[in-house]
Amino acid sequence: MGLFTEVLLLPLAPVRSVIWVTDRLQEAAENELRDPAVLRARLALLNEAYEQGQIGEAEFEREEERVLDLLESRPAPARTDVRQPPGMR
């Protein structure tokens, strides 16, 4: 971007930075949600709860299917490049 554009967009820098931070937080949360180790641990806890009688068979099957779907539908590994917030390029 040119210097003139940067000057015009300067008042929006805090808003753009907040949007950038929330996007990074969302990406981190989604990566953690779909982490195979986390999903396997959730399956282990689910099995344990079922075996101890804390949840019924229907709930167990429903949750197991949901976790297995997440495990199977994992996206490709995240890119390793570091993005900078807007206005800091």
Q: Look up residue 76 and give its DSSP letter.
A: S
C-alpha closest to that of 70 among 42, 45, 44 = 42
Q: How confident is the model at residue 15 (pLDDT cuts 50, 70, 90)?
A: confident
- pLDDT for position 43: 92
Map out the domains of the chain as residue ranges: 20-72
Is residue 22 over pLDDT 60? yes
Tell whether the model's pLDDT for residue 85 goes beyond 80: no
pLDDT band at 29 (very low <50, low <70, confident <90, very high): confident
Percent helix, strand and coil across the chain, each to the nearest 5: 70, 0, 30
